[in-house]
Amino acid sequence: MSRQYLFTSESVTEGHPDKICDQISDAILDALLAQDPESRVAAEVVVNTGLVLITGEITSKAQVNYIDLARQKIAEIGYVHAENGFSADSCSVLVALDEQSPDIAQGVDAAQESREKLSEAVLDSVGAGDQGLMFGFACDETPELMPLPISLAHRISRQLTAVRKDGTLPYLRPDGKTQVTIAYEDDRPVRIDTILISTQHQAAIGDIADPKAVQDRIKEDLLAKVVGPAFEGIDIKPDDQTRMLVNPTGKFVVGGPQGDSGLTGRKIIIDTYGGYSRHGGGAFSGKDPTKVDRTAAYACRYIAKNIVAAGLAEKCEVQVSYAIGVARPVSLFIETFGTAKVDEDKLLQVVRDNFELRPAGMIQDFDLRKLPGLRGGRFFQDVAAYGHMGRPDLDLPWEKTDKVELLKQALLQPLSTVG
């Protein structure tokens, strides 16, 4: 019997209050790692009307002006208009930072990242900075091997920001949210059911001041300039049955930190798979690579993506867990939801043998401590909005499919013929 259902995922633009915080946190991380790759960082940010609070624990030799850094990021996002109630040059920025706890630091202090190649002894001696469980996921619904609902929600959010910044729709303001509902049949996407966009905007558009006329104009513009381009390269398109909802409350003029407070790490589902896969609960932004909440989640995505890219399964979820101060994972689990083309016990063993999941090993394989310095002082802040996974617009080490041939050779070898 055919199974039909709807599944929804959401995204937010970089001007959403929570995403402002994520980006400032990761801009701080980038600046610290660019100067001192050994920096230990747990940077948290809070924003509200006219206020930015930077707090957390940082241990670093780097010299960073946190106030200037926050203002630069806020301006880059687009909060430069006084009428937004939150502006880069007028908001107050408060800094309240401590150093990392020595009880946590002692479990991860053994690594010497300056070495060309870490020895097995060092890899085994560098423990996880905390206990926890992380998930990674991939499926064959999109070219980037991500679930279709979150992929489309992010595409629409990125395009919404693009047309604001390039002047195509100059009346838009930075805050915005998107949501996409996909109709599935037998676990395959078949139709776009609903597209929802809530976008901050000026009260009037040129000489259009009537609220209903303003919303009609916004909807018309978004269909042509945002939704259409977002579906490039996607086989399933909106049809005449697709609902298009724009600013359902009637207007969205007051937004950003003036409309709602923001906090680092409050959009963990948007950062990953839109609820399509499970989540271990740990946030990413503002955390240096020794934090397995972040690094192990990237490694799990890397494993899952290579499995699906190799044709070993149509969808794959990977879970890993850690104990604080212990290098090797407590557990590793792979779920293919009945889509595996190979023996799953053998798949698990091949992954154990060929993918690095110790903290120092993951940092080394992905070059995570060095990337901000190699990329002009910015790397993590670029994934802090529009998702950390499945980013065709960015060159991310955990999105590479360089293990595909290895997996194929290990698991898809033709059976030898008995003569």
Q: What is the pLDDT along the chain (419 residues), one digit of tens a residue?
A: 679 999 999 999 999 999 999 999 999 999 999 999 999 999 999 999 999 999 999 999 999 999 999 999 999 999 998 777 799 999 999 999 988 655 555 555 544 343 457 777 778 778 888 899 999 999 999 999 999 999 999 999 999 999 999 999 999 999 999 999 999 999 999 999 999 999 999 999 999 999 999 999 999 999 999 999 999 989 999 999 999 999 999 999 999 999 899 999 999 999 999 999 999 999 999 999 999 999 999 999 999 999 999 999 999 999 999 999 999 999 999 999 999 999 999 999 999 999 999 999 999 999 999 999 999 999 999 999 999 999 999 999 999 999 999 999 999 876 444 43
* 245 and 354 share one domain: no
pLDDT at residue 89, as a whole number: 93
Q: What SS3 string covers the chain?
A: CCCEEEEEEEEECCCCHHHHHHHHHHHHHHHHHHHCCCCEEEEEEEEECCEEEEEEEEECCCCCCHHHHHHHHHHHHCCCCHHHCCCCCCCEEEEEEECCCHHHHCCCCCCCCCCCCCCHHHHHHCCECCCEEEEEEEECCCCCCCCHHHHHHHHHHHHHHHHHHCCCCCCEEEEEEEEEEEEEECCEEEEEEEEEEEEEECCCECCECCHHHHHHHHHHHHHHHHHHHHCCCCCCCCCCCCEEEECCCCCCCCCHHHHCCEECCCCHHHHCCCCCCCCCCCCCCCECCCCHHHHHHHHHHHHHHHHHHCCCCCEEEEEEEECECCCCCCEEEEECCCCCCCCHHHHHHHHHHHCCCCHHHHHHHHCCCCHHHHCCCCCHHHHCCCCCCCCCCCCCHHHCCCCHHHHHHHHCCCCCCCC
pLDDT at residue 130, as a whole number: 87
Residue 25: inside a domain = no
pLDDT at residue 81, as a whole number: 81
Into how many domains does the chain fold? 2
Residue 273: inside a domain = no
* 237 and 296 share one domain: no
Q: Which of 256, 281, 310 is the last residue of a domain?
A: 256
* 223 and 249 share one domain: yes
**373: containing domain:** 132-140+292-409
Q: Which of 256, 272, 301 is the last residue of a domain?
A: 256
Residue 181: inside a domain = yes
User: By the 8 A CB rule, do 222 and 216 touch?
Assistant: no
* 136 and 176 share one domain: no
* 320 and 363 share one domain: yes
pLDDT at residue 371, as a whole number: 96
* 350 and 241 share one domain: no
Residue 117: inside a domain = no
pTM recorded for the entire structure: 0.93
pLDDT at residue 113, as a whole number: 40
Residue 180: inside a domain = yes
C-alpha 164, offset from chain centre: 21
CATH number of the domain residue 318 falls in: 3.30.300.10
Residue 106: inside a domain = no
* 349 and 380 share one domain: yes
Other residues' Cβ atoms within 10 Å of the Cβ of residue 322 = 25
* 335 and 250 share one domain: no
User: What CA–CA distance (Å, rounded) separates 13 from 177?
Assistant: 6
pLDDT at residue 418, as a whole number: 42
Residue 51: inside a domain = no
* 136 and 182 share one domain: no
pLDDT at residue 190, as a whole number: 97
Q: Encoding tokens for residue 369?
A: 């401590």
* 222 and 248 share one domain: yes
Residue 243: inside a domain = yes
